Structure 1
Amino acid sequence: MIYLDFAATTPMSEEALAVYAEVAKTYFGNSSSLHDIGSDAARLLSICRKQLAELMNGEEKGIYFTSGGSESNILAVRSIIEAHRHKGNHLITTATEHASLYHLFQQLETEGYDVTYLSVDRFGRIDLAELERAITNETIFASIHHANSEIGTVQPIADIGKILRKNGVIFHSDCVQTFGKIQVDVQAMGIDSLSISAHKIYGPKGVGAVYIDPRIKWTPCFLNATHESGFRPGTVNVPGIAAFVTAAQQICSGLMEENTRLEALRQYFLSRVKELPITIEGHPEAHLPNIIGFSVHGIEGQYTMLECNRYGFAISTGSACQVGKQAPSRTMIAIGKEAEEAKQFVRISLGKLTTKDQLAQFVAVLETICQKRKVGKSN
């Protein structure tokens, strides 16, 4: 089977696997234990923290390791807003956030917070003027993703950061899809907090990280938690973290070259599907090179996905966290699609194993699917 679902998850790299095995064997101690074996693990953990911070131009003290992107999002938001609730109760986010954040903000509304959900244009980008208008004296926090996981649209994060900082609003960004794909620099972008995940960048599942600027106050979500400076409970996964940082260093070192290669593959795919009844979604310029979301006219996305699977291609109907949901994609509705149109959406996402030949084969499958449906309708 040809895998075109790298935005959902990636296979672990050989280097990350090797590091995981070596650290699990050699640094098996609990990093909180006071004996030498525990201290060795703690020292390695400290090195990993420093190396990961360097990749995003952050500070070592701001890194907190977690179990992945969703937990990172939830803990970052809750720990920061709780520490600043005395200043106000207004929060800002977007209508197209990842499910972990969107559902969290819905829950926060039931807890007394006032939440503004910014709209997006037909390409999935927010309006900076609308963001400025949304800020009030009660606004304490905003969470705006770096890029959308379904259509790949990249938000103008540096401009957003300037507006929020000017108004004294703490800025969190979900960078799970962008870290290692495009440059993430917390200083240049004005980001106070972000979340990332290992399994999106050829690291292990079950590992992620939050970065919180050490100057930003936060309150632990779990009373008397001792791990990760009280940020979360649970024995720290040192082998997983070492493999995560190995994968992160590897992907960031070749970021520009891979970005160029993936963009060339993207353009090749777009040139090959021009004659098909397909609409490419997302921003034509401000997009991740590896994510291509599109609607196949008159065919439900689930049918397209299952047919592709039958022909040996793994694609998705959107975010993997939303699989099984009957409702149409929130992102598609937010960019102006009707419910029936939104259900026609599918996504392919490219990775370091993707080749032009694979995409040529995939286009042939799409042509077959579209032709079969056309013949079926005419009968």
Structure 2
Amino acid sequence: MENKHEIYLDNAATTRTHPDVVSAMLPYFSLHFGNPSSLYSIARSSRTAIEEARRKVAAALGADEREIFFTSGGTESDNWAIRGIASAHGKKGRHIITTAIEHHAVLHTVEALEKEGFEITYLPVDEYGMVSPESVEEAIRPDTILISVMLANNEIGTIQPVQKIGEIARSHKIIFHSDAVQAIGQIPVDVRTMNVDLLSISAHKFGGPKGVGALFIRRGLRIDPLLYGGAQEQRRRAGTENVPGIVGLGAAIERAAAMMSEKAERMKKLRKRLIDGLLTIPKSRLNGHPTERLPNNVNIIFDYIEGESILLLLDANGIAASTGSACTSASLDPSHVLLACGLPHEQAHGSLRLTLGEETTEADIDYVLGVVPTVVQRLRDMSPLTPKELRTR
């Protein structure tokens, strides 16, 4: 019998492109199709649209529009921030500070730089996935050129003390980058208040299209390009601009900023209801900080079962969820984030991440709370690791 429910709770992986955003994008696929770098009138509407989107992104981030550079998404923005600084400042020093829980777009980039002779310090986190600003300051060396700490973790939702870390970086005259991909549209982001020099965003995390993002680069900062070949984006990022995508990014971030406060309050209420309900299941625990976390993020571990098994049974019941980062969903490795929080390998394999969206309803939460305990019990009854007191047969 076909399941009639379709509940999407994986908004940290991607959000639905909002219809208003799609409508804003459509004319730039065929009506205003000109290459923005061309001089004739057909192209001018494309150029005008890009600059309008740049103003919208700048306004949402508290930046100057000349500090916004469009990219293909969060991964490119992270790569450009880190590699661009390493290339431009490598003669000054070859030490970079980051954390053990960064997105792989950051971790794999610094790992590649290690092979090129850079030294990387991976800061530990506490049991909640929180980085200590004191540990950042203690890790600084005379040859440190970059600190990269994400604003909010994509798996467990913990919000980092980025403003304080930024103050430390500025006092030591060290460049500071933050991956804010998960935070935009969820919590306020102001690049001046946060004391960041570089900040990465991606449109599809807040109701925009996939394949487009932006990098904030503080004015006056010396950074080398990641891509070469053209004079686009103030000669810093080559390649013909993705005009429909950029228009969509601008429309999405303007919309997300306008509704963020109201949405966050609603998400927090739904999140509490979901967490409270799931934690009634024996041998369960919440991952991430209990209060300093994204308003839409719920990450729970159920002992004695694997996360992948939960996902399959939830999907059979019409619920879309994940075990962690969408970028590592095909990997059999345990979550590097949960391992960094001190969890053993067997528990780091078994998390369930449920991330709410603006379409999530109380009825959705009630349905999930009805399904998950049954799924968990079924899997525990099948597992040889489950103790007798938790079995029903």
**TM-score w.r.t. length of structure 1:** 0.97
In structure 2, the residue matched to 1:252 is 257
In structure 1, the residue matched to 2:15 is 10
Q: Deviations over 1:64-116 (max 9, x none)?
A: 11111111110121112211112111100000000111111111100111100
* 1:261 is aligned to 2:270: no
Which of 305, 312, 317 is 2:311 aligned to? 305
| Amino acid in the other structure paired with 1:259 | A
CA contact 1:27–1:239 (8 Å) conserved in 2: no
1:374 Cα deviation (Å)?
4.0
Query: Number of matched residues?
Result: 379
* 1:129 is aligned to 2:123: no
CA contact 2:232–2:238 (8 Å) conserved in 1: yes
> Which structure 1 residue ranges, 5 or more long, are not aligned?
none
| Counterpart Cα distance in 1 of 2:104 and 2:352 | 17
Q: Deviations over 1:303-332 (max 9, x none)?
A: 011111111100001000001111100001
Which of 333, 344, 348 is 1:338 aligned to? 344
Q: Deviations over 1:284-315 (max 9, x none)?
A: 11100111111111110000111111111000
1:244 Cα deviation (Å)?
1.2
| Counterpart Cα distance in 2 of 1:290 and 1:216 | 34
Which of 276, 280, 286 is 1:280 aligned to? 286
> What's the Cα RMSD here?
1.2
- Counting aligned pairs with the same residue, the percent is 39
In structure 2, the residue matched to 1:102 is 107
1:25 Cα deviation (Å)?
3.3
Secondary structure of residue in 1 paired with 2:276: helix
CA contact 2:212–2:246 (8 Å) conserved in 1: yes
1:221 Cα deviation (Å)?
2.5
| Counterpart Cα distance in 1 of 2:161 and 2:81 | 21
Which of 200, 208, 218 is 1:203 aligned to? 208
1:222 Cα deviation (Å)?
3.2
1:1-379 equivalence runs, <5 A: 1-277=6-282, 278-376=284-382, 378=391, 379=393
| Amino acid in the other structure paired with 1:122 | E
| Amino acid in the other structure paired with 1:298 | Y
Secondary structure of residue in 2 paired with 1:141: strand
| Counterpart Cα distance in 2 of 1:268 and 1:146 | 25
Q: Deviations over 1:223-252 (max 9, x none)?
A: 443222233332101111111111110111
> Which structure 2 residue ranges, 5 or more long, are not aligned?
1-5, 384-390
| Counterpart Cα distance in 2 of 1:176 and 1:4 | 18
**TM-score w.r.t. length of structure 2:** 0.94
| Counterpart Cα distance in 2 of 1:223 and 1:10 | 31
| Counterpart Cα distance in 1 of 2:381 and 2:159 | 38
In structure 1, the residue matched to 2:386 is none
| Amino acid in the other structure paired with 2:58 | A
Runs of 4+ displaced beyond 4 Å: none
| Amino acid in the other structure paired with 1:153 | T
| Counterpart Cα distance in 1 of 2:334 and 2:159 | 22
1:376 Cα deviation (Å)?
3.7
| Counterpart Cα distance in 1 of 2:233 and 2:61 | 19
